[in-house]
Structure 1
Amino acid sequence: MFTPSKSLCAAVSAVAVSALALAGCSSVDSDSVAASGADNAWPESITLSLVPSTEGEDLAEALAPLTDYLSENLGIEVNGVVASDYAATVEALGADQAQVIITDAGSLYNAIEQYDAELILRDVRFGATSYSAVAYTNNPDKYCEDEPVAASYAASDVEMLYCNGIEEEDQPAVGEGPAGVEALSKISAEDKVALQAATSPAGYQYPIVAMQDLGMDTDSAFVQVPVSGNNNAVLSVLNGDAEVSFGFWDARSTVLSEAPEAAEEVVAFAYTEMIPNGGVAASDSLPDDLVAKLSTLMDDYADSSEEAKDVMFDMVGLSDWTAETAEDEITRYGEILKKFSN
């Protein structure tokens, strides 16, 4: 997930305010009225809210190709605005300041639960709509039932070590969980375990749930070592500050440029259940036929041109969207969020 810098938020605030003001416009498209009746008339414009990964000065360049594509093919104006964070996309949808949001899994769940939003697409990264939290260790003799094997991680084109059968030797790693989670029960009270913030799905929430499902008292089962970020979770194990850590699949790739030895010295030994990527949700105020066409257009966007693929990756770090929404994964994610809401 990507979080915009303060400079981005400052740079686009004026754009966001002016664009959000347009969202209140709802004059009727005459062709839509003729086709489907006044009750299902398409609005003259809609607003799409997202948290991009681009810098502020590239905002117009990042958003324009997508919004222009949607505007041209829908026949109505599509405005793109930047939210300060993922929660703000839900707030914008609830206030009808945005009718479409591109956001993370937790915000999708909240939009569905709070505002009856419709989940229309899921994010695809490197062919996957979900990912596992990974347990890493520098002590494979303790946590591995077998000899660690090398498998290739396609996203960084490098081989890294895995054990407990979670990956096949000399094959592309797939990151499918749950797998090997029973090995987490080998963590003892004196062991140091690096955990990220309690809001981190891969660095805290899903691992904690996995351990609790094994009957472990996660308040006393180990010594907690707080870390910030997936890269530091990996480095904590590499540097010996912790015996076990957790991060997204595969967080070792984030440190390979500075510490290439992590590919061999940090061993992945367990995968949790899958954590859903984010996606796209639409307001229930939009006509069904508009939502259907919008969904198809966004689903097809990455394949519409080579430029579109680049724009999509640069804008929100995605390779595609898919209409296979697997809403049950979002629901499960919401259940876990509630568990840690306090």
Structure 2
Amino acid sequence: MRKSLLAAGSVAILGLGLGLAGCSSAAEEPDSITISLVPSVQGEDLAEALDPLTEYLSDGLGIEVKGVVADNYNATVEALGADQSQVIISDAGSLYNAIKQYDAKLILRDVRFGATSYAAVAYTNNPDKYCDDEPVMATYAAGPVELSYCNGLEDGTATGQGPKGLEHLADAKGAKVALQAATSPAGYQYPIVAFQDQGLDTDTDIEQIPVEGNNNAVIAVANGDAEIGFAYWDARVTVTDEIPDIADKAVAFAYTDMIPNGGVAVSDSLSDETVEKLTQLLDDYADSSDEAKDIMFELVGLSDWTADTAEDEITRYGEILEKFSN
């Protein structure tokens, strides 16, 4: 679920809180707008995927809207800073940087599978140690499959809302913990911060077991190579074919803070009126037609955008990235 095309990203030195400056009401109406994004399609299919979105926006705004392909997420931020683009569709880290560095305004958040954010999950093969109660089964609707949870994480239909159960990480001293690459928010960064918040020295108090990929973090727990493993919610669905009893072998016992999806930010050179129109058009795009919904998924790997931007999640993301940028 979290192989997000807009989810990996740029890590810059981050520091201050979000300066969500409003767009200047005195700004002139533009003759054209350029959108910078990193698409999921490449090569000759790019124009076919991008043109319907820019044509839709051009019709709605009454001005030309152009799309520019960025090589990476950092490039979207720099394009906005140089006024080569006035709108960026990018990952959470780049949105934070654009806001902090160039007074961009966050207007929309990405929606995938009905969610704008997700938790990293702590899985264990030793529920007697990390669970206050007996694991229960709850339905993971995106699977769909029933999976195991304890410490009151879920009841009935799983929702994956954290933080929950993190106090149980304090019991992990001396444990083997499967962790992914240091650039992974769900597989490394948020878990490391969670351990440290519980008073553990992650260099000496746990034994880090390096793994590649969310599926392998879950498999390491199921196979007994690690007592705890971290992956996105809920990565167990990626291994149900090879490990049908994964719910017994890897129990979810804690959720980290929510990790935000990316979204859309705009330059402060755009007027309030233009921003309002643009926000509404993009917010409505996925529901404008079946074709639009397909194009949106093919272009940027999303099911929708939402104006519920949850700036606090972006702020927390920036704070955590700062810990790993030095």
Common fold by TM > 0.5: yes
Residues 210-261 of structure 1 show CA distances to partners (whole Å, capped at 9, x for unaligned) of 1111111111111111122212222222232211111111112233344443
Match of 2:4 in 1: 2
> Equivalents in 1 of 2:125, 2:41: separation in Å?
35
Q: Quote how far apart the aligned CAs of 1:179 are.
A: 0.8
The one-letter code sitting in structure 1 at the alignment partner of 2:280 is T
RMSD between aligned residues = 1.9
Of structures 1 and 2, the larger Rg is shown by 1
Instruction: State the secondary structure of the residue aligned to 2:254.
Output: strand
Q: Quote how far apart the aligned CAs of 1:3 are.
A: 4.8
Match of 1:28 in 2: none
Change (3 A) 1:158 1:227: same
Contact 2:189/2:324 (<8 A) preserved = yes
Instruction: State the secondary structure of the residue aligned to 1:341.
Output: coil
Q: What fraction of aligned residue pairs are identical, expressed as a percent?
A: 71
> Equivalents in 1 of 2:50, 2:170: separation in Å?
47
Within the candidate set 179, 185, 196, 1:195 is matched to: 179
The one-letter code sitting in structure 2 at the alignment partner of 1:236 is A
Contact 2:36/2:67 (<8 A) preserved = yes
Match of 2:64 in 1: 77
Normalising to structure 1: TM-score of the pair? 0.84
Match of 2:165 in 1: 180
> Equivalents in 1 of 2:238, 2:257: separation in Å?
22
Instruction: State the secondary structure of the residue aligned to 2:173.
Output: coil
> Equivalents in 2 of 1:312, 1:270: separation in Å?
33
Q: Quote how far apart the aligned CAs of 1:87 are.
A: 1.8
> Equivalents in 1 of 2:257, 2:129: separation in Å?
22
Contact 1:74/1:294 (<8 A) preserved = yes
For structure 1, the 5+ residue unaligned runs are 5-36
Match of 2:74 in 1: 87
Normalising to structure 2: TM-score of the pair? 0.88
Higher helix share: 1
Q: Quote how far apart the aligned CAs of 1:317 are.
A: 2.2
Contact 1:2/1:52 (<8 A) preserved = no
Residues 105-154 of structure 1 show CA distances to partners (whole Å, capped at 9, x for unaligned) of 11111000001101011111222222111001122222222221111111
Count of residues in Structure 1 that have an aligned counterpart in Structure 2: 306
> Equivalents in 2 of 1:114, 1:257: separation in Å?
46
Bigger drift between 241-250 and 53-62 goes to 53-62
Match of 1:307 in 2: 291
Contact 1:132/1:273 (<8 A) preserved = yes
Match of 1:267 in 2: 251
> Equivalents in 2 of 1:265, 1:314: separation in Å?
35
